[in-house]
Amino acid sequence: MIMTTFKKELPLLARLWLRLGRLLGKTVLIVLGAGLLVWALAVAWFAWQHRGPVSAQEQIPDGEAAMTQDVIQTAVRIVDQHRESTRYLRDAHAKAHGCVKAQVQVLPQLAQDLRQGVFSEPGKVWQATMRLSNGNAYPQFDSIRDARGMAIKLLEVPGAQLLADRQGQHEQDFVMFSHPNFFVSDVAEYRQNVAAQADGQKIRAFFPGWDPRTWQVRHLFIALATLSPPPESPTQTTYFSVSPYKFGEANAKFRVMPDPDNCPAYALPRQNQDLPNFLRSALNQQLSTDRVPACFVLQVQRQDANKYMPIEDTSIEWREQDSPFETVARITLPPQDFDTPALNLQCDNLSFNPWFGLEAHRPIGGINRLRKAVYEAISDYRHARNTGT
């Protein structure tokens, strides 16, 4: 009896099952179609919003000075949070792989229109100091995903310095990290984002409210991409200025790329990446143990204001198809012994700042204006507390 009922009902169940399958199939297709449409609309909207021409001048929004003061408070809070019983460290890029001596040679055949500022004299060799670092505010293991920093200070640079109180210093700094764009556009967004992060609220940093118009999904992806796995060595990755600078009359971004072809061939022995400071070991292995120099090129990418190459939005990477990078100098790290207690302390006590330099390379755009006040404040804060250590 039970068997007969089951046999009769089986086709009905099968039909229901098939119908459910068709319904599910249709739903998936509709969702996929709607998703594609939204994606296409978003791409079109993005392209429409992000099209040239743009301004070749800085545009300073109202209230920037007050927002900057807020950021300084947060940055001091971060420095205090990370101090624990150690010295006061940098608010960002706290851990150095080393400070090394470098020579920066302006290209001997540099084109006339690229001869600007410290690149005015073809063939000129500048002595420089370079600090290589991890991006995090805490000196964590090198294997952890992070941005990697490179800061260069050209020494004995003649001419008036940008900052009135730095006239005796004669320097030109270039401060970069290993990703071409930044996870925020401007000062207002930085203030909101970093305050949330300092409170340990990583989600709120990119999703500050319920209103989807405030969600920074693209910027979240930039932040995730910036935190990348470590290179084999600090000499084997590319560093970008991210924010723009004057380049004589023009505006430009710059980058530093490894240039192994201009150095003796060298294969770095495999480092044990489980060791906390293996990037320092890699640098030490090449320059100190194996005594092989490392080479880079320093390049500039000039703004074409007819293209979408904005000054006031650091989340936008200037596209190479809109304006190519052009080499202006070669950088050599000669063989050297940099990893000594005295040199490491000297390295920690140095300050690099995009505002230490000449008018010809003046930092421009909101994020650089913000950096002027914040780097100065944090550098003073930690130096004042580290005296005598």
Q: Which stretch binds ligand HEM (CB under 6 A): 59-67, 154-162, 175-183, 296-304?
A: 175-183
Q: How far is the CB of 34 from ligand HEM (least distance, A)?
A: 37
The neighbouring-strand residues paired with 321 are none
216 binds ligand HEM (CB under 6 A): no
Which of positions 51-90 make contact with ligand HEM (CB under 6 A)?
A: 71, 75, 90
Our measurement of the distance from residue 277's CA atom to the centroid of its chain's CA atoms, rounded to an integer in Å, reads 21
User: Binding segment for ligand HEM among 37-45, 154-162, 296-304, 372-380 (CB under 6 A)?
Assistant: 372-380
- What's CA 132's distance to the chain center, in Å? 13
- Residue 106 contacts ligand HEM per CB under 6 A: no
- Residue of 117, 149, 180, 310 that binds ligand HEM (CB under 6 A): 149
Cα–Cα distance between 259 and 261 in angstroms, integer? 6
**CA nearest to 256, candidates 67, 102, 363, 58:** 102
* DSSP code of residue 270: P
In whole angstroms, how close is the CB of 363 to ligand HEM at the nearest point? 9
Do the Cβ atoms of 126 and 141 come closer than 8 Å? no
- What minimum distance in Å lies between the beta carbon of 181 and ligand HEM? 9
- Fill in the per-residue mask, 334 to 363: x = in contact with ligand HEM (CB under 6 A), - = not in contact: -----------------xx-----------
Cα 220 to Cα 183: distance, rounded to the nearest angstrom: 7
Task: Please tell me whether residue 296 adopts helix, strand or coil conformation.
Answer: strand
Nearer to ligand HEM by Cβ, of 133 and 277: the residue is 133
Name the DSSP letter for residue 22. Answer: H
Among 95, 97, 131, 302, binds ligand HEM (CB under 6 A): 131
Distances (CA, A) of 260 to 5, 11, 131, 143, 286: 80, 72, 19, 24, 13
Supply the DSSP symbol for 74: H
105, 143, 236, 379: residue in contact with ligand HEM (rule CB under 6 A): 379
- Rounded CA-CA distance 8/4 in Å is 6
> Pick from 67, 128, 151, 282: which binds ligand HEM (CB under 6 A)?
151
Is 220:280 a contact under the CB 8 Å cutoff?
Answer: no
Q: Radius of gyration over alpha carbons of the chain, in Å?
A: 26
* 378 contacts ligand HEM (rule: CB under 6 A): yes
Query: Does 95 participate in binding ligand HEM (rule CB under 6 A)?
Result: no
* H/E stretch holding 258: strand 250-258
For residue 180, state whether it binds ligand HEM (rule: CB under 6 A): no
| CB burial readout 94-123, b (16+ within 10 A) else e | bbbbbbbbbebebbeebeeebebbbbeebe
169 lies in the site for ligand HEM, by CB under 6 A: no
Q: Which is nearer to ligand HEM, 70 or 122 (CB)?
A: 70
93 sits near ligand HEM (criterion: CB under 6 A): yes
- Kindly list the residues in this chain that would bind ligand HEM in the complex (CB under 6 A): 71, 75, 90-93, 131, 133, 149, 151, 175-177, 182, 190, 242-243, 314, 351-352, 367, 370-371, 374-375, 378-379, 382
